[in-house]
Amino acid sequence: MKNVKFQTLNSLFLLIIISCFTACKKDEDKTLSLNTTETTLQRNQTFNIIVSPDAIGCVFESENDIIATVSSSGTITANKVGETYIDVKNVNKGFSAKCKVTVNPLYSMYREPYLIFGKSKTDIKSYETRSIYQEKDSSIMYTGENSYIAALVYIFHKSGYSSSSALIAVGNESLFANYLAERYVSISTSDPILMMTTDNKILVGISVYSISYYMITYVPKPTTKSNLSSKSNSELIETFDDIKNKVKDLYPIK
């Protein structure tokens, strides 16, 4: 009887060991990992996120499709300059991870203006590395970065930064087009050409300033529900025309 109990106990102990090993094995199967937690690309480049030991049951999602998209199998495609994250989740295995994607520019012309509207002149001056050409109560004009950009003007309304405009030299259209395409989303090809920043917060307008320069203007995205792609958006046209006139007072047509 004692031997039978001992054998039964041994069998129970063996089952416990097997169960523990099986449980540990299942937990081990749940452990997933990414081949990287960050990657740096340029526009149109791709990168494959690899989930080990396999990606079965994993869902890939980009936090900003404008900057970078990701396929159902984990292939990242860089679209616009900026930073975003690719979320990788497997609900069945309790796995969640992120891969940071930085898209760097291939084309450079000028440093973008300070783009946090409503700020003070002090904030602008802290950001800027260009030389001040002239300063008035409602504006600051900078020059001196390179031959592509003749001037950069910041305009203030009621002491707060309300818009900025850069004058870009004619003759570098291909470079200018690539510079814009890398950074902004096209909305309209009318006059002015309208584009949007990747965070969908800033409207970018491009128009002819003179025979020598294009003007690119940055303003906060309108809060109205007007159709930004409409050629007849008189409110926007008036806004850009008003800014152009202010810039012309500071930098007369040449």
Tokens 């930004």, residue? 228
Distance, in Å, from the CA atom of 76 to the CA atom of 47, rounded to the nearest integer, reads: 5
Q: What is the pLDDT of residue 6?
A: 46
The structure tokens 């800033």 sit at: 202
- What is the model's pLDDT at position 144? 78
CB 146 within 8 A of CB 110: yes
Q: Could you give the strand order of the β-sheet that contains 202-208, starting from the edge strand earlier in sequence? A: 131-136, 139-143, 149-157, 160-169, 213-220, 202-208, 193-197, 184-188
C-alpha 168/C-alpha 210 separation (Å) is 10
Helical H segments across the chain, by residue range:
2-30, 121-127, 173-183, 234-250
Domain spanning 33-104, CATH class: mainly beta
Chain centroid to Cα 104, Å, comes to: 10
Predicted pLDDT of residue 7: 58
Closest CA to 181 of 147, 204, 200, 165: 204
Query: Residue 109 in contact with residue 148, Cβ under 8 Å?
Result: yes
Residues 195 and 181: their CA atoms lie apart, in Å, by 9
CA distance 71 to 49: 10
CA distance to 1, 3, 7, 8, per residue, from 11 (Å): 15, 12, 6, 5
What local confidence, expressed as pLDDT, does residue 160 receive? 92
Q: How many CA atoms lie within 13 A of 135 on its CB side?
A: 6
**Which pTM does this prediction carry?**
0.81
Give the per-residue pLDDT at 232. Answer: 52
Name the residue with tokens 């449980």.
23
Contact between 182 and 81 (Cβ < 8 Å): yes
What stretches in the chain show pLDDT beneath 70? 1-30, 224-235, 254
For 98-142, what is each residue's pLDDT tens digit? 999 999 999 999 999 999 999 999 999 999 999 999 999 999 999
Domain with CATH 2.60.40.1080 in the chain: 33-104
